[in-house]
Amino acid sequence: MKKLLFVLMAAFTIGVNAQSNIQWEGFAGLNVSNIGGLGSKPGFHIGAKAELGIPSIADGVYVNAGAVFSMKGCKQDYGDLGGAKTKANFLDIPIHMGYRYNINNDFSIFGEVGPYFSFGLFGKTKTEELDSDGFGDWSMTEYSYNTFGKDGLKRFDVGAGLRFGVELKQKYNLAIGYDWGFIDLYNQMEIDESGEYEDGTSLDLTPKMKTKNLTISIGYKF
């Protein structure tokens, strides 16, 4: 990761020294996210980014950086036993290096890859559980709590992503991308050397809560 960041920063510096033009883009689209493999949840994203061409490396090479509001989460359905829905809204900051190949003046294809940094903003988790009153009667009980916090997810994430797409008339583009989170976002209690939590309870078998996010977006350059 450190080597990749160094390459991207070096490329950015070279581009600035070469006085390449910066081009801005606004974009929006759909997400299909999953946290911890617990079930996919649809959402959307909207953002903007700046692109800097680096002709000193090669024609078509560029770097970009952006800010994206992204609705992520996961959804579980246990049928008659209940279910859970987690909404997790993030501010993503991707930094990508890419290459664009011009087939003609009106049509190009591109691909890019790089790290992203993500900051949890807000969200709610709602669960439904089948509970008994102790006298043989069962009913569905609902719970709701903040997604981020002591009993929820960590607010900071970092990962890597890639995007592929097509560009029309050097203005409009359609892209598909995928992001992989590197950090387990679940806020687990500290475990001592004996393998138990500090309060003496047994180990939590919650799966690794890493994010995965498929995106489809349309953009406009100006």
User: How large is the average pLDDT for residues 154-164?
Assistant: 96
The predicted-structure confidence for 85-115, as pLDDT tens digits, reads as follows 899 999 999 999 999 999 999 999 999 999 9
Pairwise CA distance, residues 49 & 47, whole Å: 7
DSSP 3-state assignment of 41?
strand
**Global pTM?**
0.78
pLDDT digits (tens, 9 = 90+) for 29-62: 999 999 888 889 999 999 999 999 999 999 999 9
Distances (CA, A) of 52 to 5, 20, 94, 173: 16, 7, 14, 16
pLDDT higher for 128 or 70? 70
